[in-house]
Chain A
Amino acid sequence: MTSTSSWISPSTRTELIEDLVSGVDRYNPSNVGILEDYLYHQIRSEEYDCLANLAILKLYQFNPDLYNPDVVINILIKALTASPLPDFNLCISLLDERPVNATLDEPDPLPSILPILKDLHNLLYRCRFPAFWEIYHSEQLEALRDNYTVECVGFENAVRAVVIRAVQATFTRISSERLASYLDLTGADLNSYVQNLGWTVDSSTSVVSVPPNPDNQIESTVVQETIALPQLTKVISHAALKA
């Protein structure tokens, strides 16, 4: 990702959603259903639209009656894999404190899941990838996996995309072993994943080469000053006056 344009307005966003995101209609509580449907569409089809999801949270913020914990959790799961962009934090910022809600039919799952998601986000943001997978697969997170992430198509691959962003910026070559621990993949899975990226594995040393990109090319440079004409305007015009 090198610019924000697809984040501000993903190509998959429909005109209807665009109107809701950019117009005053975003405050209309009766539109929350449209945005929630759009969220579930994102979850099924590996799309992502942060601003549209923030619009849902905004409606929840202003209309506590609309609050649906499952939607909030799904939004946070989607935002998790946007790291290192601040999406996850932006979502949390909109979650106002709410008194324990008695009107829900079932107990609110968010208070117990929120700290888990924050931990997962923290591990991803701090590039602690092996630890992320360990905790993600742990028994305590069974509820999160079975009830939520399993529904979110491609969640694990989205986490791997976070890994790849960090690795390709930092490494020119990386051992298969290390990469495997970051990606939570082994053997043939790892090989095919790496091949799909267009990366190559040295069969004798099993070291993976990361193709050059703007972030893993380093060069010592000396920045020389450049003088723009406008800087000299005063000096030159003064000289011209004399002539």
Chain B
Amino acid sequence: MAQQRANLWNAEDLEDDVDLSLAIGNYGQNGHYEDAHMQQPQIDESTLIAMQQHMAQQAAFAQIPDVVKGFIVHFHQAVLNNNLAEITVAYESGWNKYTEKFYAKTEWPEAEIIAPLVNEDPIFLILYRELYYRHVYSRLQPNIDDRFHSYENSCELFNYLLNSDGPVQLELPEQWLWDIIDEFIYQYQNFCSWRSKVKSKTDDEILMLADGGPVWSSYSVLNVLYSLMQKSRINEYIAAQREGKSAEEIGEIVGEYGQRPLYRMLGYFSIIGLLRVHVLLGDFTLALKVMENVELNQKSPFTRVTACHVTTYYYVGFCYIMLRRYPDAIRTFVTILNFIMRMRQYHTRSYQYDQISKTADRMYALFAVCNALSPTRLDDNIANIAKERYGEQYAKMARGGPEALPAFEELFLYACPKFISANAPPYDDPAALSALLTPSSPSDSPSEAASAQTDATHRHLELFLADVAAQAPVPTLRSFLKLYTSLDAKKLANFLDADEEEMVQELMVMKQASRSLSRVPGTEGNLLEGQVITTSDLNFVINENMVHIAESTVGRRYAGWFIKNTERTQKIFDDLRNTPLPVPKASGPGGSHASSGGEQQQQHQQQKGPRTGGQKVAWGGVKVA
């Protein structure tokens, strides 16, 4: 690791974290914390407290239901044995089952309490805490200790993975590995937005945040993700795969870490994690740049984790919106929304289905936004669903005019990522902090003051809405131009009740809006790459003061319909032919062979043909001949 990290200038960050864990410990353990405050110097008292704690722990241990104890022991055993199948069962079903049954509204037992069950196995306890805190974040309200501790635990986990002697032998299901990265970033984002709300902090919290150091700092989060990528040499792995290198060659290239599925998957998930972190921080180009080696397609083995696959497309699509590349955004959303639709039957059973369908819903909203800005007929099916869900907003957005902006704003705020500010409010500077808390002018309502998280979101919203507002005259102009093949600019201005010069300038905007950068379909590689394409079927040009208009129309399409129906007919035909005719006595011999391959079955039927009655001979005979 030392070698690898030497070129990462802030390598000490990660080490700081380790040191810091001691400092955090002082905050975190309630016993110590109380001590300091209550000023109880007598040793006796503290021994007493320690004893009481011990007894409390024992009592807590006694309260754990036996099935849960059994589950934890079993889970631990599965992890020790690297038994992926059993780990998966425990992780995906056992944990959720007992959460519902016993811990729907309270924390799981703390790691210290269950430690005797797992021989104090430090690695399992780290993994257990990973689940423990995730449960706290998703079901309960994490307090500041939880936030600091979950950070500390993540650091311990990543230190173990990255800084052990060589690659660790641990194996975990892919889904869990994704969840680890996903949760790490979620907690970072959650911490940043919680931190930015200055008003609701208690004095103790302000004190802790002032001393927080690298806890959930952007640098430490990026450091983990980059370290995992470098350790696993995931970019080299993807490149070697693309070049079709042999397994041995790839093994050589990726080294002892990259050969292990655990590191390879973590490396890949870290790329997606970086994509997400950069978007949250408002860096849309860098977000796409870290993806430069990743091929966006459905064939890659990395798509096995559906949640990761969906996340990838959501953030890539969103980047394209902020880069004003609406056709690319549309294509991205259409691809993944179709994928989700096809996969629906499988992942309704997954515990992540809720999350995926929420993301899908936001992507339908973003699709509607893009489609209003850059109408397309790429996929009528997706377009119809989007219009069904956001019909009202879509109508307003597509019509333009004064009602459009609020509709754009509504859908953007609903569907955008939860943006964060990279830096904390000045918790370490009491003067600046109190300046922040007092509204700068009396007109500022207190609710508006100092919420950096909303500020970040609103900064992006404002930029987006300015783009949208610039395009506002386009739908109206378009509806007029559609009626003519040529038209005097003055006349058009009269229709619109507008100043002629201004309208000509709006026509330039319209022209501009009908061009966009777009990735060339079928090419792979850098997501930032693209060429200018025409996005509108209505084209025009101004010759001095005369506007000439030309429209591209799409001829009626027959082929798709015929192909679809031919295939359908063929299927009906096959089904019919494979159905045994009703035979009065004894079931037809064909029935018992129903499970064999299609071709075989056909031969079977053909042989059988002449023996069966009347009508069948007609086509059976043709085939035999």
Using a CB–CB cutoff of 8 Å, the interface residues on chain A facing chain B are: 1-5, 8, 22, 24-25, 27-30, 50-51, 54, 58, 61-62, 64, 84-86, 89-90, 92-100, 102, 118, 122, 125-130, 166-167, 169-175, 178, 207, 215-225, 227, 231-232, 234-235, 238, 241-242
Contacts and interface: CB of A to CB of B under 8 A. Distances in A.
Contacts of A174: 542, 544
Nearest to A50: B285
26 contacts: A4-B528, A24-B8, A27-B10, A54-B286, A61-B423, A86-B467, A89-B322, A92-B459, A93-B322, A95-B459, A96-B421, A96-B452, A99-B425, A99-B432, A171-B542, A173-B543, A218-B539, A218-B540, A219-B539, A222-B555, A223-B552, A225-B557, A225-B559, A225-B560, A227-B559, A234-B563
Q: How large is the interface on B (under 10, 10 to 19, 20 to 34, 35 or more residues)?
A: 35 or more
Contacts of B284: 90, 93
B508 A167 contact: yes
B380 to A, nearest CB: 15
B558 A225 contact: yes
Contacts of A173: 543-544
A235 B226 contact: no
Interface stretch (B63-71, B240-248, B306-314, B510-518): B510-518
B282 A222 contact: no
Given A166-B511, A172-B542, A172-B543, A127 B567 contact: no
A224 B463 contact: no
Nearest to B325: A86
* Interface core residue of B422, B423, B505 (most chain A CB under 10 Å): B505
B563 A220 contact: no
A218 B550 contact: yes
B507 interface: yes
B570 A171 contact: no
A8 B528 contact: yes
B566 A4 contact: no
B548 interface: yes
Nearest to B531: A3
Contacts of B526: 8
B543 A94 contact: no
A146 B509 CA distance: 30
Interface in B17-46: none
Nearest to B566: A235
Contacts of A64: 423
B507 A170 contact: yes
B341 interface: no
B283 A94 contact: yes
Contacts of B558: 225
A139 B509 CA distance: 28
Contacts of B515: 169, 215
B324 A27 contact: no
The 10 closest A-B pairs by CB, nearest first: A93-B282, A218-B550, A28-B9, A127-B508, A220-B550, A166-B508, A218-B539, A89-B463, A170-B511, A3-B531
Contact of A216 (B289, B432, B541, B602): B541
Contact of B222 (A22, A27, A219): A27
